[in-house]
Amino acid sequence: MLLNIYMKKFFTYPVLLFMFLSFIGMMGFGAIIKYHYDGGEKFQFLQKTVIFISSIPKQIKVIIKHKSIDGDYISPLKIDFGESKITHYSNTKSVLKKEELLLVSRFDGDLNKAVVEIRDINNLETLKKWEVNKNLNEILDNTDINNELFKFFRRDRGPTRFYAHHPYVDKDLNLIFHSNNTPLIKVDKNNKLIWVNDDFSFHHSINTTVDENLYYVPVHLNPFSKKVANILGKKKIDISKKINFADDGIALIDDKGKTLFTKSIIEILIEHGYVNRIFAQQQFSENPIHLNDIEPVLKDTPFFRKGDLFLSLRNLSMVILYRPQENKIIKILEGPFANQHDVDILNDEEISIFNNNVLYTYQEKKELEILTYNFKTQSYKKKFQKTIDKYNIDTPTHGLVDFLNDKSAIIDDKKNGRIFYINAEGDLIWKFNNLNKKKELYEFWWVRLINLENSKKIRELIKND
């Protein structure tokens, strides 16, 4: 009886009206969120307001957990191998001391920032270090932030999240790098900024030609290349209109930061009759190519020529041998690999392919492989498979392998925060887990083996510096 009285007093007309309007408001709020993520183009101001309000709980969680107001943080990997930072294995066969050096780009969980280090391959001693975020404000000042490619550069690459992806160090200890979808940057041995190239958004690998003063780097083209624009019916990226197509291209940059050559990968495919591979699939993809490696050929062989390029197209599971001088595809490889990274030339007739081997099915399916392809026998072989399986090397994205002259190898297991050094027989020499003092594990951003000749020169420079 008493409860009924209280209920009648509570559920008055104003309260019921408020509840009804609140219900209608929640339905409208949800409808706007759905409209936004369905790609709706109208009511932009309303969309932005609603998305901002809906993100407040997440932002509060970020502020409390990461002590970051603007989301500038990197979380440790949710993996615990229960191991030490560096583990040397004494059960391997006799390992001769090597002169080669490693260029290691990683997140330092103790410093809470990205670093690039030159390390001795034998004992992983750090010989030199760059803290890449020191020039971030100067880099931003030299970047055209009005370009749609860099619209979110400041937001997405704060001091904590600004890192060097697959950096390259030259014989004068200058460092060339990007932070994946940023300009290309060059700093000297003292971290002083030399130049910024913001002609494009640079991403993934950085590799040199035979004279080592020219750099091939994958880029996103904006405006789009002519043939791509004609098919898309759009000329350039426009984030406000949700036009964000990745027209991946090849860029050749000199040591002064000047762009010498560009070519759209999609245009190459269109010009060779493969337009269907890009624009005739079941679903339209804004990232149909995902160019993740450009490997220059440095000398003539019976199967490829000096100046040719091996191109790894992840989203097509395709490797192309391309001749820029003739704008000609020499060979297309679509073999037993899927969503691969990193093509390397092993000798006059063989290449290696870092096969992430990720398939999109109803179940997660992947078994990472390092493949070799022989142009003479036209056959594939697996390398180090027992080692890969034993140590569960299985980065689903990124990753690479670099071979030494004695056929030993460095394997970057990026998404598991590990680097492995194995001999030619597959025996493990050492393992580097990117741990901080709290035993939290963080990612690497593509290790690089510095070739023997350059390693000797760099050792001498560091010694005399």
- Cis peptide, bond prior to residue 183, ω within 30 of zero: no
Q: What percent of the chain has pLDDT over 70?
A: 89
In this prediction, residue 89 carries a pLDDT of 73
d(CA 167, CA 322): 24
The closest of 132, 146, 213 to 177, measured between CA atoms, is 132
Place of tokens 């400041």: 154
- pTM for this predicted structure: 0.87
Give the per-residue pLDDT at 72: 80
Whole-number Å distance between alpha carbons of 283 and 262: 28
CB-CB neighbours of 324 under 10 Å: 16
Q: What is the pLDDT of residue 365?
A: 65
Domain boundaries, the chain: 2-54, 86-464
At 53 the pLDDT is 75
* Residues in contact with 320: Cβ distance below 8 Å, sequence separation at least 6, in sequence order: 268, 310, 311, 313, 329, 331, 332, 333
Residue 177 φ/ψ, nearest 5 degrees = -160, 170
β-bridge mates for residue 24, sequence order: none
How confident is the model over 318-330, as pLDDT tens digits?
999 999 999 999 9
Cα Rg of the chain (Å, integer) = 25
**What is the tens place of the pLDDT at every residue in 285-315?**
899 999 999 999 999 999 999 999 999 999 9
Identity of the residue numbered 283 = Q
How many angstroms separate the Cα of 100 from the Cα of each of 125, 403, 457?
Answer: 12, 11, 10
CA–CA distances in Å: residue 125 to residues 95, 118, 129, 243, 263 = 17, 8, 11, 47, 40
Instruction: Determine the Cα–Cα distance for residues 251 and 237; give it in Å rounded to an integer.
Output: 19
- pLDDT tens digits, one per residue of 92-136: 555 678 999 999 999 999 999 999 999 999 999 999 999 999 999
* Architecture field, domain 86-464: 6 Propeller (2.120)
- The stretch 449-454 carries a mean pLDDT of 95
In this predicted model, which residue has the larger pLDDT, 38 or 200?
A: 200
Give backbone dihedrals phi and psi of 79, rounded to 5 degrees, phi first: -135, 140
For residue 197, pLDDT beyond 90: yes
pLDDT at residue 362, as a whole number: 76
CA distances from 185 to 52, 198, 254, 291, 448 (A): 33, 9, 12, 20, 17
